[in-house]
Structure 1
Amino acid sequence: MAQPQLQPQTETKPVPAKPSPGKKRPFFHLSEKKKDALSGYLYISPFYLLFAIFGLFPMLFSFYLGFQKWNGLGEMEFVGLQNFRFVLSDPIFWKSLFNTAAIGIIGTLPQLIIGIILAYALNSALLKFKSFFRVSIFMPYVTSTVAVAIVFGVMFNSQDFGLMNVVLNWLGFDSVSWSTSEWGVKIAISTMVFWRWVGYNTIIYLAGLQGIPNDLYEAAKIDGASIRQQIQYITIPMLKPIIILTVFLSTIGAMQLFTEPLVFLGRSFREEGITVVLYLYREAFSNMAFGTASATAIILFFIIIVLSSINVFFTNRIGR
């Protein structure tokens, strides 16, 4: 009797159930790539939130306020370009702009030149105790600006017992009224600016010098290049990006000069030493004209853009 032949059983795989038409994917279902990107944005979000609140919003509000008349308490009144016409027709504003430019040139230009020289000296292999000198030259930058202004206020005292007047008298010159004379105020404030910021620029130049390969200097020495030629044809061209950076930052800092003249002159706002930011401060918190102050800030914003572009253009031609 023939045995019935058994059919081999085939394994059946379970068919995944199809989602019902009304069921959707969870809203927060993200891929690993998107989760990593989201976590990165969450980590940097505190900075941007603080910047939006304390940086971006005040800037936008200042632009809006430049076209309003407001004393800080009452209702705003739209006045169009009246605030700008008032500022541009005010002789004190143009005086403050001249003072800012003069102090910026006297106090900023020498610190950039001397900063390169000091950085070159600090980078020299012949100098001993480099760490001590680097810390010492950077110390004025971390010192309180108010303390610096007070010390220099004593040094540039208008009386005969002031340190600078004692030195001038010892050299045979007459005493100078540093707080009231036209150029005495500018020289005193420029000296403060120079002393405080020359170390900052020196450290930046020093970092740039340390990034220049020594092979270039060794090859130049073999070819018979002097130190002047090494600086002219190697150091300056290689420091070109650093020089552009320091010129850009120094231009902005010079146009925003505020603390030194305020502490040195007090709230008298003398025309001999008033700067654009000090003029802005006077309009806002002494005359309670926040619209005029905002218009001044907008004008200063565009002046900084123009001057920075001009300085970068000329600085960019160094080393060609």
Structure 2
Amino acid sequence: MKQTAIVRNRLQPRWTGWMFVSVAVLMIFLFYFYPMLQALLLSFKSGTGARIDWTGLDNYKRLASDPVFWTALKNTSLYLIVQVPVMILLAMFISVLLNDSKLRFKGFFRTAIFLPAITSLVAYSVVFKYLFGAEGLVNQALLKLHLIDAPLQWITDPVLAKITIIIAITWRWTGYNMIFYLSALQNIDPSIYEAARIDGASPVRQFFSITTPMLKPIILFTSITSTIGTLQLFDEIMNITKGGPGNATMTISQYIYNLSFKYTPDFGYAATVSYTIVVLIVLLSILQFKAAGDKK
């Protein structure tokens, strides 16, 4: 009897813990994993409306020869390769500047740089669309500075439209990543920098030999979250360029939207395209963990 009571007392805290998290676990399964499983099954079907039939790997064969998909993938990859490194380096640089104890009005600068991250995606996209319009503020400023002779077509030129998108998402998300770096920098013992200064290390040497290695977990975290966000890029494209001109700025997420709601609805093929984002996120996350040397 005593042994039974001891076992019951040992198991009770474990079951009590599971009772507390059971509702959350159930909600996560219902609203995350179950839809993911259904989307995977849907990717093997095709049809419109309620007439959806099992077609096996037909959607995946179609994906391999779909020129619009490969254009969207190329555009998304370009945003990822160019914008994510620029944004992370810029966020690190700004956070180091704002972490200086001698800097005045640090609170104001931190708030001002972080504010874009809490603005409405639609609102700021529309603002950028007008800023970079043919008669927008950007062109007016460049003309007054005599840097250009005629207004640049930021929205309708294929190359300039991509640059506009990169500028927009960099402006919005740099401050968001800056907060993580600031938090990490404030946890670094100042005595480490003091010892480095005594040894004659320059600020540049301190940054590469002390700051960067100690920010490694945050760099990995922001790289992965930024990669995920860029692969799912939608609002800016939809509101600034609508994927144009001629699909020059279309992303995978916008293509999924078009397949589901703009073209003749084909939810099975849209699910197939959406799972390419899942695969890309998993592969790039693994590569980033490997590159960072993180074994956990």
Tell me which moved more, 191-200 or 165-174: 165-174
Residue matched to 1:108: 84
Which segment drifts farther, 169-178 or 212-221?
A: 169-178
Q: Which residue of 2 aligns with 1:63?
A: 40
* Alignment counterpart, residue 140 of structure 2, candidates 162, 166, 177: 166
Residue 272 of structure 1 is aligned with which of 228, 239, 248? 248
Secondary structure in 1 aligned to 2:101? coil
User: Match of 1:189, as an amino acid?
Assistant: I
Pair 1:134–1:45, CA change in 2 (3 A):
farther
The answer to whether the aligner puts 1:35 opposite 2:12 as a matched pair is yes
- 1:178 CA displacement: 2.1
TM-score scaled to structure 1, two decimals? 0.84
Are the counterparts in 2 of residues 145 and 259 from structure 1 also a CA contact under 8 Å? yes
**Aligned equivalents of 2:53, 2:130: Cα separation in 1:** 45
Correspondent of 1:260 among 224, 227, 236: 236
Partner of 1:48: 25
Q: Which amino acid aligns with 1:121?
A: L
**In structure 2, what is the Cα distance between the partners aligned to 1:185 and 1:145?**
18
Residue 295 of structure 1 and its aligned partner are, at CA, apart by: 0.7
Letter in structure 1 aligned against 2:147 = G
Paired with 1:291 and 1:153, the residues of 2 have a C-alpha distance of 33
Which residue is 1:6 aligned to?
none
Q: Which has the higher helix share?
A: 2
Moved more, 232-241 or 47-56: 47-56
Which residue of 2 is the match for residue 130 of structure 1?
106
State the AA in 1 paired with 2:43: G
Distance 1:266 1:232 in 2: 41
Structural mapping, 1:75-224, within 5 Å: 75-157=51-133, 159=134, 161-170=135-144, 171-173=146-148, 174-224=150-200
Q: RMSD of the TM alignment (CA)? A: 2.0
222, 225, 228: which one aligns with 2:204? 228
Q: Is the 8 A contact 1:180 1:272 kept in 2?
A: no
Question: Following TM superposition, by how much is the alpha carbon of 1:65 offset from its aligned partner in structure 2, in angstroms?
Answer: 0.6
Q: How big is each residue's C-alpha offset from its partner over 1:102-123, in whole Å with a ceiling of 9 and x where there is no partner?
A: 1223322211001111111111
Alpha-carbon distance in 2 for matches of 1:238, 1:95: 39
Letter of the 1:313 counterpart: K
Relative to the length of structure 2, the TM-score reads 0.90
Which residue does the alignment assign to 1:18?
A: none
Q: CA deviation at 1:197?
A: 0.5
CA deviation map 1:208-230 (0-9, x unaligned):
11111112111111111110111
Deviation at 1:254, TM superposition (A): 1.0
Q: For this pair of structures, how many residues does the alignment match?
A: 286
In the alignment, residue 272 of structure 1 is paired with which amino acid?
A
CA radius of gyration, larger in: 1
Structure 1: state its 5+ residue gaps: 1-24
CA distance 1:259–1:203, change in 2 (3 Å)? same
Whole-Å Cα distance in 2 between the matches of residues 83 and 182 of structure 1?
A: 29
- 1:13 aligned residue: none
CA distance in 1, matches of 2:64, 2:154: 29
Q: CA deviation at 1:166?
A: 1.4
Tell me the amino acid that sits aligned with residue 65 of structure 1: L
2:221 alignment partner, one of 245, 269, 272 = 245
Note the C-alpha offset of 1:97.
0.8
Cα distance change on mapping 1:67 and 1:34 into 2, 3 Å: same
Q: Which moved more, 1:113-122 or 1:132-141?
A: 132-141
Aligned-partner residue type, residue 70 of structure 2: W
